[in-house]
Amino acid sequence: MSFEITIEKTQNSRIGQFDPENIGFGKIFTDHMFLAQWNGSEWTNARIVPYGPLSLSPATSAIHYGQSIFEGMKAFAHKKTGQPLLFRPRENWKRLNRSAERMVMPVVPEDLFMDGLKKLIELDAAWVPQTEGGSLYIRPYMFATDDFIGVKPSETYMFAIFCCPVGPYYTKALKIKVEEEFSRAAPGGVGFTKCAGNYGASMYPTMRAQQEGYDQVLWTDPITHTLVEETGTTNLFAVFHNEVITPKLGNTLLAGITRDSVIQGLRELGHSVIERELSVAELKDRLAAGELKEIFITGTAATLIRIQGFGHASTYYEVLEKGDTQVSDSIKSWLDGIRHGETEDVFGWNEPV
């Protein structure tokens, strides 16, 4: 099935106001956005229009009952040609639909997602930063649009995509706090989805961690608070002498696309990567024994960031100072190379626009 997408181009491009040397994160939006509506039985009115406000009823059900999901993905400029390369966009499409299913929302057909995305990027290609560390962050999302008060799945939805040129999300190694009081997700809950509520619920514990001098929370399992899960918007890897460990997936943490790419990349580079339970006690013991070389976190927005150290039960454990970043250095440059078309795309991850 193929969708007809109408295009209304902006008459007032803002590209002239865009300074690629000074981008920041999440504050500048490109000229256009993609919209489509679910009318209760099919996707309709697929269109690209100038980026701008949406008009919504005060009773819009997403605002009250939380049927709201999103994705985060990126396009990178090819180092030589400048052509936009979408990084594994179909993985984001699949994950969006896993979220949709759990939240009783309609699935988005692959061609609606991909055609809307590619047409939008084609139109706003000049916004893809060519600068070192720059990329185009892409935000596909869906929310319930019924104007109705009452807890039930909405009949109508909006699926939309907009884009922001971005620089690095973090510019330094992070200090993270092992969270033992609050939980991000529970077994049987929605931790494996990118539903908006997961992020709203994380803000209070994150604020508390920041007040204690940390940059981020390291979530632990919600039952015992002894097993490491993920941070606010990233997955975690711990590098030991001859193996790299990352917490195994379950329904309380997000299956990061960067996580999967890093696992495949590390194996390609000859490292042993194991997905298994990783306890805070193991991190502490093996750090003390000199076996923990480094900890790094991965995510689309954050890319790959090193962990300076972690706090647990009011004690701070420094990791980076004595650490060795050889593994994170090599996987970071391997992944950056693929994303910018410099290294052979052995897994066929890039989709040029």
Ligand X SMILES: Cc1ncc(COP(=O)(O)O)c(C=O)c1O
Site residues for ligand X per CB under 6 A: 72, 230, 233-235, 254, 256-259, 298-300
- Write down the least CB distance from residue 229 to ligand X, Å: 9
Whichever of 110 and 122 has its CB closer to ligand X, that residue is: 110
In three-state secondary structure terms, 43 is strand
Give least dist CB 135 to ligand X, A.
12
Nearer to ligand X by Cβ, of 146 and 230: the residue is 230
Q: How far is the CB of 208 from ligand X (least distance, A)?
A: 18
Smallest gap, in angstroms, from Cβ of residue 258 to ligand X? 3
Smallest gap from Cβ 256 to ligand X, in A, equals: 3
Could you tell me the smallest distance in angstroms from the CB atom of residue 72 to ligand X? 5
123 or 205: CB nearest ligand X:
205
CB 136 within 8 A of CB 117: no
The long-range contacts involving 226-233, CB below 8 angstroms and separated by at least 24 positions, are 226/279, 226/280, 226/281, 227/277, 227/278, 227/279, 227/280, 228/178, 228/278, 228/279, 228/280, 228/283, 229/184, 229/253, 230/184, 230/254, 230/256, 231/176, 231/297, 232/202, 232/206, 233/299, 233/301, 233/302
Name the residue nearer to ligand X (CB basis): 30 or 235: 235
Q: Tell me the closest approach of the beta carbon of residue 296 to ligand X, in angstroms.
A: 13
Dihedrals φ, ψ of 342, to 5°? -95, -30
Give residues with Cβ within 8 angstroms of 99, minimum separation 6.
Answer: 69, 105, 193, 194, 195
Grouping H, G, I as helix, E, B as strand and the rest as coil, residue 296 is strand
Nearer to ligand X, 205 or 256 (CB): 256
The smaller minimum CB distance to ligand X, of residues 67 and 99, is found at 99
Q: Is 72 or 153 the residue whose CB approaches ligand X more closely?
A: 72
Instruction: Quickly list DSSP for 227-291.
Output: BEEEESS-EEEEEESS-EEEEPP-TTS---HHHHHHHHHHHHTT--EEEE--BHHHHHHHHHTT-
Quick one: the chain helix, strand, coil %, rounded to 5?
25, 30, 45
Minimum Å distance from CB 55 to ligand X? Answer: 28
- Closer to ligand X by Cβ: residue 160 or 302: 302
The number of C-alpha atoms within 13 Å of 209 and in the hemisphere containing its C-beta is 27
To ligand X, the closest distance from the beta carbon of 138 in angstroms equals 11
Q: Rounded to whole angstroms, how far apart are CA atoms 7 and 50?
A: 9
Report yes or no: 175 and 316 within 8 Å, Cβ to Cβ.
yes
Strands (E) in 51-149, as ranges, are 68-70, 73-77, 84-87, 135-144
Q: Cβ closer to ligand X: 160 or 254? A: 254
The one-letter code for the residue type at 104 is V
3-state secondary structure of 110: helix
